[in-house]
Each structure stands twice: as C-alpha cells, then as structure tokens.
A = this chain, B = another copy of it.
Amino acid sequence: MKMMLFTIAVLVLASGAGVFASHARAAENGTPKQTITRYGTLPAYKGPSRFFTGVAWVQPLFEPKGDICPVAGAYVTFEPGARSHWHDHPAGQHLVVTEGIGRTGTEDGKVHEVRAGDVLWCPPGVRHWHGAAPNTSMTHFSFAGTLPDGKNTNWMEPVTDTQYNGGE
C-alpha cells in the first residue's frame, strides 16, 4: 500500500519508450546479464492532456525487448474521474488493476467497473478507454504488445462525460 501511495501511474505510450534506451543498451552490450532497475530510477510523468481527461500519472517499468519480448510495461494511476481518451492497441494490451476502483468502456457503450485484482485483455484493434471511478482513484499495470516500429497505441478522441457514465 505504501508503495502504491508513491506509485503513480502508467499507460504505455510509445513516446515514453525513450527513457529506457540507455538502460536497455547497457544490458544488451556484451554478455547478457540480469539487470535491476531500482524503484525511483525511472521518472514518472503526467499523461499528456491530448491523451487523457483529468490527471493520470505514468510510471514506466520496462521497455519492449525487440522481438524477444515485445511488450512495454508501466503503472498508470488515475485520479478520481480521470480517464484515457479512446484508443486502441495494434498488438493488444493486458491491464491488471492493482489499487482502487476504475471504469472501462468499449464501442458497445457498456461501461464496466473494475477493482484490484481484475485483469483485462484488449485484443488488437479494439477501441476502448479506461480510468478511475468518479470518486476513487485507480492504479493498473499496463502491458502493451508493441510493433517492431515501437508503436503500441493509436490515440483518438476524448471520452465524453455521457460515455464515461454509460449513457447513449
């Protein structure tokens, strides 16, 4: 829990991948070795307003490892009422809720509540959004499959209040 109080956030943004680059190169030069990235080493950043409504903090965890293990990992913490814009993932995304209560919606207009321990799988090309409940923050791990060009998210329009509340 203490960790979560500090652990602010992640959605996997292709634009965030750069922060890992030097770390990855260090690991991949010469004989491969196990690497440990200490908590607090990778800077968290606020999810940009062109991708999020409200405040969401992204805490990068690891970058995709080429075609060996092409998945980017991060925490994302959404303040109450905050949510992503509509988007899809060209290589899919797993979410694991670690704290709080959230909401997620898809093209059918249905909105589902999610709680700590729930796991979501969004297949490639499926439009969705995810965020916190109106009065409760939510943190999830995000694991996004990543294409060879580094792309893992196609961002779209904001989620309206009506959509967030499950209305037509």
A interface, CB within 8 angstroms of B: 1-3, 6-7, 27-28, 32-40, 61-62, 65, 68-71, 73, 91-94, 96, 98-99, 104, 106, 112, 114-126, 128, 141, 143, 145
Contacts and interface: CB of A to CB of B under 8 A. Distances in A.
A93 B65 CA distance: 10
A95 to B, nearest CB: 9
Contacts of A28: 123
A142 to B, nearest CB: 11
Given A96-B61, A141-B141, A36 B119 contact: yes
A116 B35 contact: no
Contacts of A141: 96, 141
Nearest to A40: B117
A69 B98 CA distance: 21
A116 B37 CA distance: 11
Contacts of A38: 117-118
B118 A91 contact: no
Nearest to A59: B117
